[in-house]
Amino acid sequence: QVQLVESGGDLVQPGGSLRLSCAASGTIISISGMGWFRQAPGKARESVAFINRSGGGTNYADSVKGRFTISRDNAKNTIYLQMSSLKPEDTAVYYCYANVNGRTTWGQGTQVTVSS
């Protein structure tokens, strides 16, 4: 059974930085595209960032371009989301997802709160 476990969510001040991680574990035969969604209170879940299998192709929501960076370490089956210049509107539960063994798998989410 494959699991994705996010970590790194916290309460931070506006303008601060935070790094999220998502580690896949279990019987992993293949793993390809991975990324992050987020869901703020009262809003729909939205795509934040995506990274392809090799790590050479990325995509970001317009709202986070220049502030967030997605990366991956295939040896560790882990992806990261480096978040800088955080704004209150970045407050959300952040969910990791990955194509593992040919199907999309989701993590449980980690809370990021940006507030004074």
The confidence score (pLDDT) of residue 97 equals 97
The confidence score (pLDDT) of residue 45 equals 95
> Locate tokens 């990366």: which residue?
71
The confidence score (pLDDT) of residue 33 equals 96
pLDDT digits (tens, 9 = 90+) for 53-86: 999 999 999 999 999 999 999 999 999 999 999 9
Which of 17, 54, 22 minimizes the C-alpha distance to 37?
22
pLDDT < 70 stretches in the chain: none
